[in-house]
Structure 1
């Protein structure tokens, strides 16, 4: 039986654990070759084993996304090997400290912006030519309800996700006449280490898991996905315009 992503190349960032790992596995099970990007070599090797067991393959890329020049080198390597890229999943992100804005250190602010915003811009900048070479390029970036809620003490994270939303919506507008579709994905509350750090007293058993979310990455990555510049909201299982998500 033909798999929906058979023969397609999918790059996934932050795939050593949590949402990224689940997304990479789901895309692999759907037939994609995974370009797996994460900082931890050991976790990447464990993912590779799981992808092989699923009957697919991966290229492991140990990479700190704040090494922006390395993102450019990765784009060049993908071009040299495959001459295209079909799917980009920008999942890597950090929470930063939950603290009043006046207490946020410049170092923390820069770290959150570098990972959550600038790295994703550099990723789009480097991979855009490759996505345009695909017959159905798909760019999927993990956002958060924090981008709209702007709760007290969540400043750096909320600001970074709002900037990410604007980045992806702008890219969607710029690729409107191409075969590329660019989507944001809001996972909502999931059983992840980031969620645990943000909500330490929460009962994890009440939350859905990254594995529950993972099939929706396959939907958004598929060549027949026809929407762009919108938000797939996992908690409501709806595609929202940014105005509806506000």
Structure 2
């Protein structure tokens, strides 16, 4: 197998400064992709770039951006077009939990923030990047989702509702681009050792959970241009660990 299956591919990763986004960015870079890393903190992005450079000898492109101001995604699409003319891979990992609260007690500001980051930013990302993905010979868009979409639970209203909306949006979009080289995937990482998981389950021992790095090989596999049997419409990969982290 080619040790650099993503050579010369251009990959955008949101939420790249920590957790699954960071693991995905590192995995894609190790596989040969040039990573455009999007995150909220300059320091976190620079730390990621240092690690990518130490391991690969190449730098990432760093984009400090807060998805609570999603209109900035429009300018990002134009910048990518100007520099590369295409985009081969998108991994949309950025999200917020929105707090654990009874539905009637949800703070309106937190609701608006969760809606903006988890749903509206996904629409803006698709809107800005679709032409770039279509310019690739095999555009791959990977969206992180959650089992709360199909298994709603008390106190998870903002997160479950906005992720359900995101899934519906991605499925509609995938239908629209099914006759193009673009394919969309919904990836449910399940329980994982992330800051968001710790926020939702503060009493849980994080050492009992898999590290985000364990899902990186599957992200790399899903990002490849080779025919992996991906359907025209998005599927949810949720039992990734039982499959050894592979398709």
Map 1:53-202; keep pairs closer than 5 Å.
Answer: 53-55=54-56, 56-202=58-204
Distance 1:64 1:30 in 2: 27
Distance 2:243 2:112 in 1: 33
Distance 1:201 1:2 in 2: 40
Q: Is the 8 A contact 2:14 2:38 kept in 1?
A: yes
Displacement after TM superposition at 1:235 (Å): 4.2
Distance 1:66 1:73 in 2: 15
Name the counterpart of 1:211.
213
CA deviations over 1:87-128 (Å, ceiling 9, x no partner): 011100000111111001221111101001110110010000
Name the counterpart of 1:36.
37
Distance 2:114 2:222 in 1: 26
Distance 1:104 1:235 in 2: 33
Distance 1:68 1:112 in 2: 12
Relative distance call for 1:102 and 1:121 in structure 2 (3 A) is same
Unaligned runs of 5+ in 1: 240-246
| TM superposition outliers: structure 1 runs of 4+ over 3 Å | 235-239
Distance 2:184 2:114 in 1: 22
Unaligned runs of 5+ in 2: none
Does residue 25 (structure 1) correspond to residue 26 (structure 2)? The answer is: yes
Q: Is the 8 A contact 1:188 1:235 kept in 2?
A: no
Name the counterpart of 2:234.
229
Displacement after TM superposition at 1:237 (Å): 3.5
CA deviations over 1:137-181 (Å, ceiling 9, x no partner): 000000000111110000000001111111111111111111111
Distance 1:147 1:183 in 2: 15
Name the counterpart of 1:242.
none
Distance 2:151 2:244 in 1: 18
Relative distance call for 1:168 and 1:114 in structure 2 (3 A) is same
Name the counterpart of 2:49.
48
Distance 1:106 1:237 in 2: 40
What is the number of residues matched between the two proteins? 239
Distance 1:226 1:67 in 2: 36
CA deviations over 1:9-52 (Å, ceiling 9, x no partner): 00000010111000000000000000000010001000001111
Provide the aligned C-alpha RMSD in A. 1.5
| TM-score (norm: length of structure 1) | 0.94
Q: Is the 8 A contact 2:70 2:116 kept in 1?
A: no
| TM-score (norm: length of structure 2) | 0.93
Displacement after TM superposition at 1:54 (Å): 2.0
